[in-house]
Amino acid sequence: MTMQTDNRYQKDFIVSWGEIHRDARALAWRLLDKSPWKGVIAITRGGLVPAAIVSRELEVRLVDTICVTTYDEQSQGEPEILKRFDGDGEGYLLIDDLVDTGATAKIVKEMVPKAHFATVYAKPAGRPLVDTFITEVSQDTWIRFPWDMELGYSQPIAIR
């Protein structure tokens, strides 16, 4: 049984807490030689966990947020900016868990055009908007993050 109803997503990519921690640390390694950073800007809500890990690994104490809502687990909607960042982002690291279609990325890059945009995961449609990422997944894959899941029975792949 799959939760999404959008036909664009044919595959699930399940990420555990251990995997997101490992991948966010790998992102920090890639960003280390580009530091020092003035601060980290997390794109909420998905970017909060990776931003916390990256900021810890890079010894960055100033963490802020940009709050944008563009979709939920069911569908993509009209973007809504809930909180902005004051400034152009120069010297800041902008962190999100994922770039998918690029809708959120376009909005935040307009807000903070001088920030370095880094994501843990990237899909082809949004990848050109990201400066640094760790893992690319296909556009037809729904990434299931540990903060969005509960433990339960998993059907074999052949039955889905």
DSSP state string for 133-145: EEEE--TTEEEE-
Q: How far apart are CA 160 and CA 158, in angstroms?
A: 6
Q: What is the Cα–Cα distance from 79 to 104, expressed in whole angstroms?
A: 7
Residue 149: predicted pLDDT: 84
pLDDT at 75: 55
Which fold does the domain 11-145 belong to in CATH? Rossmann fold (3.40.50)
Q: Where are the domains of the chain?
A: 11-145
Q: Please tell me the predicted confidence (pLDDT) of residue 154.
A: 77
Mean pLDDT score of the chain, rounded to an integer? 90
| Residues 97, 45: Cα–Cα separation, whole Å | 9
Would you state the structure tokens that stand for residue 154, as one six-digit string? 């998993």
Rounded Cα–Cα distance for residues 5 and 120 (Å): 24
* CB contact at 8 A, 121 and 97: yes
Whole-model pTM?
0.85
Q: What is the pLDDT of residue 18?
A: 96
Residue 124's pLDDT band (boundaries 50, 70, 90)? very high
Show which residues are catalytic.
96-97, 100
pLDDT at 158: 87
pLDDT digits (tens, 9 = 90+) for 70-109: 765 555 667 889 999 999 999 999 999 999 999 999 999 9
DSSP single-letter state for residue 47? T
What does the pLDDT look like over 41-63, one tens digit per residue?
Answer: 999 999 999 999 999 999 999 99
